[in-house]
Every structure is written in C-alpha cells, then in structure tokens.
Structure 1
C-alpha cells in the first residue's frame, strides 16, 4: 500500500489561520456594510409605496416606517452569521408590522399590490455585495502575515 505525506509550509498554514480569524472577527462589520446599503433604499421604496395609487386619502400612521430597521448580527446553529433588514414586531394596535408590510407588498382583494420589498432586493443586491467585498478587503488589508 502506498503512503503519501503532504507537508504545507508553516507560513501558508499561518496565513490560513489569520484569514479565518479575520473572517470571524469582521463578520459584524462586513454584514453591517451590506445592510447599510439595503435599509435606506428599503425605507425610500416603502415611503413611496405607502398611500400610492389609492382612491381614498392615506390612513398611514407612520408606524410601519418607524418599525423598519436592521438587527444586530446573530449566529445561527450552523455557525452562519446573519443580519436582517425588516420590521420590529407589533404595532400599537397589536397587529404585526410584518403582516401590514405583506399586505402592502402583495395586496389583497380590495387593495392592489404596492411592492417595495422585491424592488429593494433587485436594486440593492449588487451594491450590498460590493460594499461587503470592500469592507472585507479593507479588513484583509490590515492583516499582517
């Protein structure tokens, strides 16, 4: 039986270890850079969708816009880092902000859809990825091998 032994240079192993440490330490900042691109656009799209194209005057209370925000970075059970741009739950009347946003996005039988989430995703995808790449590249630029 043949036997193979591969030895990697210590400098290479140290570089991989440093890269892993940078990724773990900078996840919050990198994901925050992406969320910073998405949230303002979502806020703008939501403001434009509220009350648009209605026959009656808008009854908006501003609670949905006020509930929009970005969560802190959380790590799930698989070790993935996540940040969410969305709505804080429950309005003053007890209804869910997410429910109101869903009705606004998709409409209902008596209300036409006024999408703001799908356009936000389409408008910000490349910009958010680019912002995260730049933030990560800046972090790697600070690493000393």
Structure 2
C-alpha cells in the first residue's frame, strides 16, 4: 500500500491556526460588508416605488425608509451565520412596517404590487459576493 505525506508551509499553517481563533470575529464583518451592499439597493428601490403610480397624492412620510436597517450577524442553532435586512417596529401611527412593506411588495385588492425586495436581491447578488470576498481577503491580510 502506498503512503503519501504532504507538508504544508509553516507560514500557511500558522495563518490557518490564527484564522481558526478569529473566525467568530471575521465572519460578522464579512457578512456586514455584503449586507451593506444589499441594504443600499433595497433602500433605493423602496424610495423609487413609494408614492409612484398612485391615483392620489402620496402621503409618504419617509418613516418606512428610515426604519429599514441591517441586523447584527448572529449564529443560528445549526451553526450558520446570518444577517437580516428588515424594518424596525412599531411606527408612530401604530401600524406595522413589515405589513406596509408587504403590501407595497405584493400589492392588495385595488393596489398593484410594486416589488422592491426581490429585484434588489437579484440585482445585488454578484456585487454582494464580491464585497464579501474583498472584505474576507482584507481580514485575512491582517492575520
């Protein structure tokens, strides 16, 4: 039976061990870099659809756009790290921001849908991945 022994460069092994110690610090930074790219696109899409194509003058206050934000990166019970883009609650008038966003995205009886989330997701996929790659390389360069 054949036997193979592969020796890795010592510097590479040291970087891997330091990376293992710092993954909990690096992963949230990488996810936040990607989340910022998507968040900016969602905000611009939301601003462009609010008040457009309505029969009556817009009553937009800007509260929905201001409530849009990025959650901190968290680890779920399966060990996956997640970051979410969503709305803070509640509004001043007592309504739910998530409900209003859902109505804008999917429409309702008498109100056509004006999607802003789904187009942002598909439009920013590549740029989000690139932003996360560059941030990861930047963090790995510091090790």
Instruction: Return the alpha-carbon distance in structure 2 between the equivalents of residues 91 and 119 of structure 1.
Output: 25
Task: Kindly report structure 1 stretches of 4+ aligned residues shifted beyond 6 Å.
Answer: 6-10
Q: What are the equivalent positions in structure 2 for 1:38-57 lying under 5 Å apart? A: 38-57=38-57
Question: What is aligned with 1:95?
Answer: 95
Query: Secondary structure of the residue that 1:69 maps to in structure 2?
Result: strand
What is the CA-CA distance between 1:23 and the residue it aligns to? 2.8
1:122 paired with 2:126, answer no
Could you give the per-residue CA deviations for residues 69-119 of structure 1, whole angstroms, max 9, x where no partner exists? 111122222222221111112211222111100000000111010000011
Q: TM-score, normalised by structure 1?
A: 0.85
1:113 paired with 2:113, answer yes
What is the CA-CA distance between 1:24 and the residue it aligns to? 2.4
Deviates most, 9-18 or 70-79: 9-18
Q: TM-score, normalised by structure 2?
A: 0.86
Query: Secondary structure of the residue that 2:48 maps to in structure 1?
Result: helix
Aligned residues: 140
Instruction: Return the alpha-carbon distance in structure 2 between the equivalents of residues 49 and 111 of structure 1.
Output: 13
Instruction: Return the alpha-carbon distance in structure 1 between the equivalents of residues 29 and 126 of structure 2.
Output: 18
Deviates most, 69-78 or 14-23: 14-23
Question: What is aligned with 1:138?
Answer: 138
Question: What is aligned with 1:76?
Answer: 76
Could you give the per-residue CA deviations for residues 48-72 of structure 1, whole angstroms, max 9, x where no partner exists? 0001111111121221111111111
Deviates most, 13-22 or 85-94: 13-22
Instruction: Return the alpha-carbon distance in structure 2 between the equivalents of residues 10 and 79 of structure 1.
Output: 30
What RMSD over aligned residues (CA atoms) do the two structures have, in Å?
2.2
